[in-house]
Amino acid sequence: MPPEKPRRLGRGLDALFGSAEMAPKSALKPENESALKDISISQIVSNPFQPRKDFKAAELSELQESLRSSGLLQPITVRPAPSGSGYELIAGERRLRAATNIGWDTIPAVVKNLDDQEILTLALVENLQRADLNPIEEAEGYNQLIEQFGHTQQTVAAMVGKDRSTISNVLRLLQLPVSVRKLLEAGQLTAGQARPLLGLEDQGQVDALARDIISRSLSAREVERQVRSAGSSGALPGHGRSRKSDTRSADVKSLEQRLRKHFQTDVAITVKPQGRGSINVSFYSAEDFERIVEVMGFRS
C-alpha cells in the first residue's frame, strides 16, 4: 500500500488563526503598518518563546558569509515589544545573530502584531519545517503550548499539522533522565533510539544502555530487544560478553551518525566489496515517513 500523501507542516495553523476572513485582529497587519522596514538591530530583543536553543557556530559562520556576499534574502519578522519600546523577534534569530556579528546597524524586518501564543506557534512551525529543532527542543515547545496556554495534545497537533500520536510520542521524551535528554540535544542519540529507554525504570540501566547505543551504534529495534530482555531478566544482555566488532572505517561510522542526527531516525550504512553498499533510512509510522521525506527536501 502506498504511503499516505504527506501533509505540509503547519497546515493546521487555521485551527489557531482561523481563515483570512475570520483571523483575529492581532493576526492582521494594520492598514498604516509598513509591510517591510529597516529596523535598528539595537532596538530588537530576542524571542522569549524561541524553541531552538542550540545555534551552531559553523552554521552562523556560513550565514555570515552569505550575508556579506548576497545580502539578506529573507527579512526577519518582529512585533512591537510588549513594553512599548523597540521590537521583539518572532522569526529569524540566526539571521539576526549573523547580521549582528558582521556589524550591521539595521536589518530588514516585517512587523506583525501577534500575541505570545501565536509567536510560539509560528516559531515552532518555522523550525520544524527547516528540521532545525532537536527532539528535546521540539518536545519543550509542545509542552509550553500545553502548560502555558492550556492546549490539549489534539489542538497542538492541529496547529503544527501533525498527528496527535506524534505529539504524544515526542512529549514522552521529556520523561527521560536529564543525562539522556542531553545526549538527544547533542545529536548523539535519535528519538527512535531513545524512546525505548522509557521502558526501563532503573536509572543505572538507562544510562548504561544509552552509552551502549552510542558505542555500538545500536538501532531502535536493537534497543527495543535489549529493553525487553532487561524487563524479563533484570539485566541488559551482552554485558560482560565479547561483542561483534564493527570493522567499518571511522569515516563511514561518522557519516552514519551524522545522517542519524540529520534525519532523527535510524540510519544504517552497509559497505560491501568493490565500493558497493546501501544506506537504509528507517521510519516507524506514516507521520515519521512524512517527516523524513520533508527533511529530504520533497514537498507535497
What 3-state class would DSSP assign to 244?
coil
Annotate 180-231 with DSSP letters as a single string. Answer: HHHHHHTTSS-HHHHGGGGG---HHHHHHHHHHHHHHT--HHHHHHHHHHHH
Residue 17 has pLDDT above 50, yes or no: no
Q: Which one is predicted more confidently, 54 or 272?
A: 272
What contacts 37, CB < 8 A, 6 or more positions away? 108, 109, 111
Residue 229 or 27, more confident: 229
Run of H or E residues at 295? helix 286-295
Banded pLDDT at 297 (limits 50, 70, 90): confident
E strands in the chain: 37-40, 44-45, 76-80, 87-91, 106-111, 267-271, 277-281
Q: Does residue 298 have a pLDDT over 80?
A: no
Task: Please tell me the predicted confidence (pLDDT) of residue 7.
Answer: 45
pLDDT at 32: 36
Cα dihedral 300, 135, 94, 56 sign:
negative
| pLDDT beyond 80 at 178 | yes
| 165 has a pLDDT exceeding 50 | yes
C-alpha cell of 86? 523597540
Other C-beta atoms within 10 Å of 243: how many?
Answer: 10
Pick 292 or 17 by higher pLDDT. 292
Confidence band, pLDDT 50/70/90 cuts, at residue 100: very high
The single residue of 31, 59, 93, 147 carrying the catalytic annotation is: 93
Bridge partner list, 277: 271
Q: Residues 18-42: what's their mean pLDDT?
A: 53
Average pLDDT over residues 139-151: 85
Residue 26, C-alpha cell as written in the block: 492581532
CATH numbers and ranges of domains, the chain? 11-170 (3.90.1530.10), 250-295 (no CATH)
The pTM of this model reads 0.54
Residue 241 has pLDDT above 80, yes or no: no
Measured distance between the N- and C-terminal CA atoms of the chain, rounded to whole angstroms: 18
Strand partners for 153? none
CB neighbours (10 Å) of residue 79? 21
Q: Is 21 a catalytic residue?
A: no
